[in-house]
Structure 1
Amino acid sequence: MEKIDYKKVCKELYQPKTKPELVDVPPMCFLQIGGQGDPNDADGEYQRAVEILYTLSYTIKMFPKKGVLPKGYFDYVVPPLEGLWWMKNEQNFDFCKKSELCWIAMIRQPEFVTENLLSVAKQHVEKKKSSLNLSKAWLRNFSEGLSVQCMHMGSFDEESLTIDKMRKYAAANGYVFDLSMERRHHEIYLSDPRKIAECKMKTVLRYPINTLAVLGEFV
């Protein structure tokens, strides 16, 4: 059976155009870790979170070779790293103030992954990498809903240009960004910055939206 690659099966979620567009994002299961601080800090919390997410994700993927066959298992490509980003003071969101960033790093999981399966994966990882704090990782069904998204080409520090286009597009279609504890600035990383020039980097940017009327605002 051919491997399931969510980037190909769900192109509307992972391969948007470089012009903003609307998308209704279905509920999905994610392995997540939350924290705060500069994601570029080589010894920082974010880098450790990413290591844990990938270690657990690949452990689950390779379960059949370890003698574990989860119910409903199918072979698949581990989905890309994603992230939800915000600051405690959303009004002064500034991508340049990286040390003040709050985040949830996450990787999508196949439908067969359960809390019990995650516990088994943690047990396997603890035997080989006891230094990792696996208690920080949790499984969550994340429902994002109606959003505007766009493919950003280039450096992370230049995202504000693409976000400005997305905000204008949303307004032109009667929507505004709807940011809350559950709905955040969302990034999906399709490029490895260690292996590709900044100008060629691809990052899906997504913002949840709502109408002014629903949010109780007035035009």
Structure 2
Amino acid sequence: MDKLDLAKTYKTYYKAGTEPELVGFGEARYLTIAGQGDPNGERFAQAAAALYAAAYGAKALGKAQGTDFTVPKLEGLWWMDSGKPALEVPRQEWHWKLLIRMPDFVTRALAAEAKEKTTLKKKELADDIAHVAYEAMAEGLSVQMLHVGPYETEPETVERMHAYMEARGLVQNGLHHEIYLTDPRKTPPSGWKTILRFPVEQRDLS
């Protein structure tokens, strides 16, 4: 049985250079879970565990039907109610939505079945698995760049992305999007690789 690897199928989506670039993305499907609070806190960890459990549940069902796939990298959307930069806001006020992209053959019905079966196996995560959703998202035109290093130094990369956008008359029109290419439990902070992405549109000059 062939195993679908989304990172190889959608190379632009899971790969970015160390300079800002303009790219475009169509609609994709995800399992998601949303919350608020410190990303180093227990709520975030539980949410991530529940999301991965549901994703591997979908993988198991797909494999049983002859359509296996590699569970791809964790992603996150981030925003603040105040609109201020994240580092100027207490972490307890950070809003996030974690995502794991799904192949097209993982339907809403299959995702629901995966949640149901995973809840029976992972009873300690039942409350969080209940909040896992199946969503479609199309970011369209976007600026992205690879950030190498700890998350605390992301503002330096974001500044370069904003300068690129400003020079081309582009403005952000979606949430701050991150794709985590490395496991922080296995890699020192200096080697962390994160794709940063902003959906954009042309500035209205009228």
Give the TM-score normalised by structure 1.
Answer: 0.88
Q: Distance in 1 between matches of 2:15 and 2:87?
A: 24
Q: Deviations over 1:67-103 (max 9, x none)?
A: x42xxx522211100000011011x222363221001
Which residue in the other structure is 1:12 paired with?
12
Displacement after TM superposition at 1:128 (Å): 1.6
Gap runs ≥5 in structure 2: none
Judge which range, 128-137 or 148-157, deviates more: 128-137
1:84 has 2:77 as partner: yes
How many residues of Structure 1 are paired with residues of Structure 2 in the alignment? Answer: 203
Identity over aligned pairs, percent? 39
Q: Distance in 1 between matches of 2:11 and 2:25?
A: 12
Which residue in the other structure is 1:52 paired with?
50
Judge which range, 199-208 or 169-178, deviates more: 169-178
Compared CA separation, residues 164 and 6, structure 1 to 2 (3 A) = same
Gap runs ≥5 in structure 1: none
Q: Distance in 1 between matches of 2:10 and 2:62?
A: 25
Question: Could you tell me which of 77, 85, 92 is aligned with 1:99?
Answer: 92
- Residues 149 and 191, structure 2, Cα contact 8 Å, conserved in 1: yes
1:196 has 2:165 as partner: no
Q: Distance in 2 between matches of 1:116 and 1:176?
A: 37
Q: Distance in 1 between matches of 2:79 and 2:62?
A: 38
Displacement after TM superposition at 1:3 (Å): 2.2
What is the letter of the counterpart of residue 33 of structure 1? I
Q: Distance in 2 between matches of 1:210 and 1:121?
A: 36
Q: Distance in 1 between matches of 2:105 and 2:67?
A: 9
Q: Distance in 1 between matches of 2:50 and 2:192?
A: 24
Please tell me the root mean square deviation across aligned C-alpha atoms, in Å.
Answer: 1.5
Where do residues 103-118 of structure 1 align in structure 2 (5 Å cutoff)? 103-118=96-111
Displacement after TM superposition at 1:64 (Å): 5.6
Displacement after TM superposition at 1:127 (Å): 1.6
Q: Distance in 2 between matches of 1:40 and 1:100?
A: 13
Q: Distance in 2 between matches of 1:176 and 1:119?
A: 37
Which residue in the other structure is 2:176 paired with?
185
Displacement after TM superposition at 1:161 (Å): 0.3
Displacement after TM superposition at 1:11 (Å): 1.5
Question: Could you tell me which of 163, 166, 172 is aligned with 2:161?
Answer: 166
Displacement after TM superposition at 1:197 (Å): 1.0
Instruction: Tell me the SS of whatever aligns to 1:126.
Output: helix
- Residues 5 and 70, structure 2, Cα contact 8 Å, conserved in 1: yes
Displacement after TM superposition at 1:2 (Å): 3.6
What is the letter of the counterpart of residue 10 of structure 2? C
Compared CA separation, residues 18 and 110, structure 1 to 2 (3 A) = same
Displacement after TM superposition at 1:63 (Å): 2.1
- Residues 62 and 106, structure 2, Cα contact 8 Å, conserved in 1: no
What is the letter of the counterpart of residue 55 of structure 1? A
Which residue in the other structure is 1:131 paired with?
124
Instruction: Tell me the SS of whatever aligns to 2:124.
Output: coil
Which residue in the other structure is 2:30 paired with?
30
Give the TM-score normalised by structure 2.
Answer: 0.93
1:143 has 2:141 as partner: no
Instruction: Tell me the SS of whatever aligns to 1:152.
Output: strand
Question: Could you tell me which of 49, 59, 62 is aligned with 2:60?
Answer: 62
- Residues 61 and 110, structure 2, Cα contact 8 Å, conserved in 1: no
Question: Could you tell me which of 53, 67, 91 is aligned with 1:74?
Answer: 67
